């Protein structure tokens, strides 16, 4: 409740064993709302159910070829993408 931003969802790909252990320790302390917003993906295809391919990096079977944050944010903040990200 003290963070100045808002997360609609947190998507985690290929969770490592160390992260699984850390998450298991932290999980009981997370709010129900946050628990629902953390989404784990073991397959790239499941990520595409939440984000359009043009916002997913090529490394994750998407179409985004550059990792530079500024162009990615500009693309993500276009009105047609904002509506998709809001769901």
Tell me the per-residue pLDDT of 43-81, one tens digit each, with 9 for 90 and over. 888 888 888 888 888 888 889 886 667 777 777 777 776
What are the structure tokens assigned to 86, written together? 């809001």
Q: d(Cα 26, Cα 34) in Å, to the nearest integer?
A: 12
State yes or no: pLDDT of 24 exceeds 80.
Answer: yes
Domain ranges of the chain: 10-86
Half-sphere exposure of 31 (CA within 13 A, CB side): 4
Q: What residues form DSSP beta bridges with 10? A: 38
Is the pTM higher than 0.75? The answer reads no
10-86 is classed CATH 3.40.50.1000 = no
Neighbours of 81 (CB within 10 A): 16
Element (H, E) at 39: strand 38-41
**CA dihedral over 67, 19, 27, 2, signed as positive or negative:** negative
């Amino acid at each position: 409740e003290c963070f100045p931003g808002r997360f609609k969802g947190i998507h985690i790909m290929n969770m490592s064993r160390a992260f699984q252990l850390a998450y298991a320790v932290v999980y009981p302390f997370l709010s129900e709302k946050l628990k629902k917003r953390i989404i784990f993906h073991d397959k790239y295809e499941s990520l595409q159910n939440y984000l359009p391919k043009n916002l997913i990096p090529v490394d994750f079977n998407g179409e985004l070829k550059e990792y530079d944050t500024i162009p990615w944010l500009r693309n993500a903040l276009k009105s047609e993408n904002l509506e998709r990200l809001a769901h």
